[in-house]
Amino acid sequence: MRSLFIPLIALFLTGCESADSKTAKQVADTGGAEKLFTSIQWIDSVKQMGKISEGQKLSLSFRFRNSGNKPLIIESVEPTCGCTIADYPKEPIAPGVEGEITGSFNSEGREGLQHKTMTVKANTEGSGQHEITFEVDVQKKPGAAEAPQ
């Protein structure tokens, strides 16, 4: 009886190992780790900033909430222009918790209506990309001479 029991345990352990290896292979086939997708709810993704004087630096803040049930990871925030700098949370945002993307816009040399976009990449369902935008009317510096026509 004992001689039958030992091979049975060995077979069971080998079977478990094969199942674990298969699971690891399936995970590896999906990119090395299972992607944990979540969802994001933008509290404010579009900002109308009004008027500012040329040369003024404008501070920005876009709030969001992790509306899913997995940690939200902001992978990057890419402004479309060098006049805008963005900062974002580097740590995962827990489900139900709010976060904030901040930034600044340098209006030097940017007279007129400015419409700027930043692309947010995160572990969210769908494309994983979201656009946040702001619009500001940059007024000519007070006392600046008009260009000759």
Classify residue 148: in a domain, yes or no: no
Confidence of residue 141 (pLDDT cuts 50, 70, 90): confident
Q: Do residues 55 and 72 share a domain?
A: yes
Q: Do residues 7 and 78 share a domain?
A: no
Q: Give the closest residue to 124 by CA, choosing from 77, 63, 76, 72.
A: 72
pLDDT beyond 80 at 74: yes
pLDDT at residue 42, as a whole number: 97
Q: Looking at residue 117, which CATH number applies to its domain?
A: 2.60.40.10
Kindly report the average pLDDT of the chain as a whole number.
81
Q: Do residues 53 and 115 share a domain?
A: yes
Contact 84/118 with Cβ under 8 angstroms? yes
Classify residue 144: in a domain, yes or no: no
Question: Residues with Cβ < 8 Å from 72, sequence gap 6 or more?
Answer: 38, 40, 66, 92, 93, 94, 95, 99, 122, 123, 124
pLDDT per residue as tens digits for the range 77-119: 999 999 999 999 999 999 999 999 999 999 999 999 999 999 9
- Where is pLDDT greater, at 63 or 13? 63
Q: Do residues 49 and 115 share a domain?
A: yes
